[in-house]
């Protein structure tokens, strides 16, 4: 399996290359500046010049021009567009108003604003136009941003995006699912189901498949049925499923009753792979903090933050902390969001740097400061800050998308080596890798010069050992296919006798092909396999598609989680599951809604 690229940034070269054949295919030209692609129809600059980005813009905005299929017609169309002569009539004022209304509704959803705020946006635009462009105030007459219309438009956009996803899903050669059960909205818990599919040309698509209300689907059997129904609606069979990425909660990975066990049983077939499962990939920093929080540090700090938000909000020493908090989850925050925010390495590091100011503040408001005189608690705090900082760095590395899963697994393996090193250093009382703990120990030595035993190394060795075992368990399946990953990440240097029997002939043939070797040297791994002939190398190409479908980052899940925490107050308003799914899809998708289709549907429903 081939996911590791030869370079850390596998798509840099591709992003800088404009292909001349795109002009007729997608009606774009290379702009004078040389960056991106300029659309001949709408004159919009497409910043990213990967083919899938250009194709998505064309399919979403200008599918009308697919009727010009003959080479001669296509060339004539390009020439007319270059001269600014559009072959179709411009949009009517009513259609422009409809597009504007849809775009504003989408923007409200992206920013997590409530349905009723559309009226406020309308009033702002009206005031602006009356003062600046009074002759154009009439254009607002066709724009309706009332709460009910906004709801309907968001649902229409969701339906359009879902239809695009289902159309592409029919061509997926392989796909994987990511199951995230950490979405808590108000008093209800949801399962977010994301899909990553690979098309015939190895183009990768990541998107939200569905959301499932865990209050209504409490049992694993009910969850399983809901997921299968979503896959069936998308036209996907379990025979094409390659991998499962989950959180490491019992609902997901329970040995006998977890959802993963049920999914694997259902997916067993002579025609498909054993499903590769890896947990701990999603919310690595958040969920791992429960394993290393040895003295309930976060619960104590949470009480302090509540005090600061109520009685210390004007104190200058806490403004950085409060600003960070509000940027993460807004001014209004519930206990769960606060707890999740505090379990991040960056946050704990900031609070640790303010511990002296915190102690002074607690004294001033009459709160207990017993923890600041407890050397065990202080050492635990320093250790937690350090270990969570290391987990944060790993989580950020896993947040980089489009590098394929083997590169992500390399980061996991490197971190496991680090954990072994941490074990030895703690045993030797070498705190080089634990700067916060070292700072606490140095302070305590100054205060207690006669006390020779400031901290207990065994205590922290046990925590690191527990974390090592969790990592081994979470990524067992990826470790099992490690040799396959090495083979497909470096096919020209892998000895055929060590390869599986089924691929030896193709691998030998591949290594003997000088032209392919030259392509391999100048292209990144994704481009190389995309251009590999499926007729000459069907097994290698097939496995490449399957491996490319494994989730290589936690980016889309973190995007949804960030949207949830930032807009918790808005999302806690009465919303149907259908509306909630629409908001999450709009917030996480990379697809552009088909505006022309949406306007056309509106015209048909309102003749």
Indicate the angle between helix axes 345-353 and 355-364, nearest 10 degrees.
Answer: 60
Q: How many whole angstroms separate alpha carbon 544 and alpha carbon 528? A: 11
State the DSSP string of 117-167: HHHHHHHHHHHHHHHH-GGGGGGGGG----HHHHHHHHHHHHHHHHHHHHH
Q: How many whole angstroms separate alpha carbon 304 and alpha carbon 50? A: 48
Q: How many whole angstroms separate alpha carbon 447 and alpha carbon 454? A: 11
Q: Tell me how crowded residue 357 is: count the other CB atoms within 10 A of its CB.
A: 17
pTM above 0.85, yes or no: no
- Ranges of H-type helices in 315-451: 319-329, 335-342, 345-353, 355-364, 375-398, 405-427, 435-447
108-149 pLDDT tens trace = 998 888 888 888 998 998 898 888 888 888 888 878 888 888
Q: How many whole angstroms separate alpha carbon 465 and alpha carbon 470? A: 9
Residue labelled with tokens 């270059």: 82
- Encoding tokens for residue 21? 């054949």
According to the model, what pLDDT value does residue 48 have? 66
The span from the first CA to the last CA of the chain, in angstroms, equals 54
pLDDT score of 330 more than 60: no
Contact 425, 433 (CB under 8 A): yes
> How much is the average pLDDT of 507-533?
87
Which residues make Cβ contacts (< 8 Å) with residue 127, sequence separation at least 6?
Answer: none
Contact 584, 157 (CB under 8 A): no
Pairing of strands 174-185, 241-246: parallel
According to the model, what pLDDT value does residue 285 have? 82
Residue labelled with tokens 């691998």: 507
Question: Counting Cβ atoms within 10 Å, is residue 263 exposed (0-12), middle (13-18) or buried (19+)?
Answer: buried
Phi-psi region of 315 (alpha: psi -120 to 50; beta: other; left: phi over 0): beta
Contact 178, 132 (CB under 8 A): no
Tabulate helix, strand, coil % of the chain (nearest 5).
60, 10, 30
Contact 154, 105 (CB under 8 A): yes
CA distances from 524 to 273, 403, 519, 533 (A): 26, 10, 9, 16
> How much is the average pLDDT of 506-523?
89
Classified as helix, coil or strand, 236 is coil
Task: Flag the least confident range among 135-144, 271-280, 433-442, 536-545.
Answer: 271-280
Which residues make Cβ contacts (< 8 Å) with residue 44, sequence separation at least 6?
Answer: 38, 57
- Encoding tokens for residue 527? 């481009």
Between these two residues, 398 and 65, which has the higher pLDDT value? 398
The phi and psi torsions of 308 (rounded to 5 degrees) equal: -65, -40
% of the chain surpassing 70 pLDDT: 89
According to the model, what pLDDT value does residue 426 have? 92
> How much is the average pLDDT of 253-278?
75
Q: What is the mean pLDDT of the chain?
A: 83
383-425 pLDDT tens trace = 999 999 999 899 888 877 666 777 788 888 899 999 999 999 9
What confidence category does residue 346 fall into, taking pLDDT thresholds of 50, 70 and 90?
confident
Task: Flag the least confident range among 148-152, 254-258, 509-513.
Answer: 254-258
- Encoding tokens for residue 349? 């590091």
Nearest CA among 441, 462, 460, 461 for reference residue 452: 441
Give the count of alpha carbons within 13 A of 266, CB side only. Answer: 18
Contact 220, 227 (CB under 8 A): no
Q: Give the full edge-to-edge strand order of the sheet including 188-198.
A: 204-213, 188-198, 174-185, 241-246, 276-279
Classified as helix, coil or strand, 358 is helix
Classified as helix, coil or strand, 495 is coil
pLDDT score of 2 more than 50: no
pLDDT score of 259 more than 70: yes
- Encoding tokens for residue 406? 């083997």
Task: Flag the least confident range among 14-18, 143-147, 191-195, 352-356.
Answer: 14-18
Between these two residues, 114 and 442, which has the higher pLDDT value? 442
Question: Counting Cβ atoms within 10 Å, is residue 114 exposed (0-12), middle (13-18) or buried (19+)?
Answer: middle
Q: Tell me how crowded residue 496 is: count the other CB atoms within 10 A of its CB.
A: 16
What confidence category does residue 3 fall into, taking pLDDT thresholds of 50, 70 and 90?
very low
Pairing of strands 241-246, 276-279: parallel
Contact 350, 401 (CB under 8 A): no
Q: Tell me how crowded residue 382 is: count the other CB atoms within 10 A of its CB.
A: 25
Classified as helix, coil or strand, 3 is coil
Beta-ladder partners of 29: 38
Pairing of strands 37-39, 28-29: antiparallel
pLDDT score of 271 more than 50: no
């Amino acid at each position: 399996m081939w996911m590791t690229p030869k370079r850390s940034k596998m798509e840099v070269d591709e992003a800088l290359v404009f292909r001349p054949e795109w002009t007729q295919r997608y009606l774009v030209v290379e702009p004078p500046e040389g960056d991106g692609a300029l659309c001949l129809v709408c004159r919009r600059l497409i910043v990213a010049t990967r083919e899938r980005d250009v194709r998505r813009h064309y399919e979403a905005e200008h599918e009308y021009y697919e009727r010009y299929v003959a080479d001669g017609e296509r060339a004539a169309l390009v020439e007319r567009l270059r001269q600014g002569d559009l072959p179709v009539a411009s949009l009517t004022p009513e259609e422009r108003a409809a597009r504007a209304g849809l775009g504003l509704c989408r923007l409200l959803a992206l920013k997590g604003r409530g349905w009723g705020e559309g009226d406020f946006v309308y009033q702002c635009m009206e005031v602006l136009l009356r003062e600046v462009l009074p002759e154009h105030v009439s254009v607002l007459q066709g724009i309706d941003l009332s709460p009910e219309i906004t709801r309907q438009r968001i649902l229409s956009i969701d339906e359009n995006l879902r239809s695009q996803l289902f159309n592409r899903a029919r061509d997926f050669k392989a796909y994987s699912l990511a199951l995230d059960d950490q979405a808590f909205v108000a008093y209800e818990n949801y399962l977010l189901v994301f899909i990553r599919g690979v098309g015939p040309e190895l183009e990768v698509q990541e998107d939200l498949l569905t959301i499932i209300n865990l209050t209504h689907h409490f049992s694993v059997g009910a969850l399983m049925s809901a997921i299968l129904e979503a896959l069936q609606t998308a036209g996907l069979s379990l025979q094409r499923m390659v991998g499962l990425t989950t959180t490491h909660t019992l609902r997901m990975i329970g040995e006998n009753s977890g959802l993963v066990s049920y999914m694997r049983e259902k997916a067993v077939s002579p025609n498909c792979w054993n499903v590769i499962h890896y947990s701990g990939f999603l919310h690595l920093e958040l969920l791992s903090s429960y394993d290393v929080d040895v003295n309930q540090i976060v619960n104590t700090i949470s009480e302090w933050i509540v005090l600061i938000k109520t009685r210390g909000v004007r104190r200058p020493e806490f403004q950085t902390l409060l600003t960070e908090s509000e940027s993460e989850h807004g001014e209004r925050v519930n206990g769960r969001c606060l707890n999740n925010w505090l379990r991040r390495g960056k946050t704990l590091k900031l609070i640790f740097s303010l511990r002296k100011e915190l102690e002074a503040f607690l004294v001033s408001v009459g709160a207990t400061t017993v923890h600041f005189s407890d050397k065990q608690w202080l050492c635990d705090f320093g250790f937690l800050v350090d270990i969570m900082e290391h987990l944060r760095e790993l989580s950020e590395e896993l947040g980089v998308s489009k590098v394929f899963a083997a590169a992500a697994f390399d980061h996991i393996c490197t971190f496991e080596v680090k954990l072994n090193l941490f074990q030895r250093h703690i045993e030797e009382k070498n705190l080089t890798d634990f700067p916060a703990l070292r700072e606490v120990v140095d302070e305590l030595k100054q205060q207690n010069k006669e006390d020779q035993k400031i901290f207990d190394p065994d205590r922290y060795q046990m925590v690191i050992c527990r974390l090592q075992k969790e990592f081994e368990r979470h990524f067992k399946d990826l470790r099992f296919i490690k040799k396959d990953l090495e083979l497909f990440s470096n096919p020209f240097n892998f000895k055929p006798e060590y390869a599986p029997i089924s691929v030896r002939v193709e691998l030998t043939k591949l290594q003997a092909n000088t032209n392919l070797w030259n392509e391999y040297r100048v292209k990144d791994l994704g481009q190389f396999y995309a251009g590999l002939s499926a007729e000459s190398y069907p097994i290698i190409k097939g496995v490449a598609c399957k491996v490319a479908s494994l989730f290589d980052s936690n980016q889309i899940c973190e995007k949804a989680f960030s949207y949830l925490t930032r807009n918790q107050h808005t999302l806690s308003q009465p919303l149907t599951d259908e509306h909630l799914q629409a908001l999450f899809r709009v917030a996480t998708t990379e697809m552009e809604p088909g505006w022309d289709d949406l306007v056309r549907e509106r015209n048909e429903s309102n003749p």
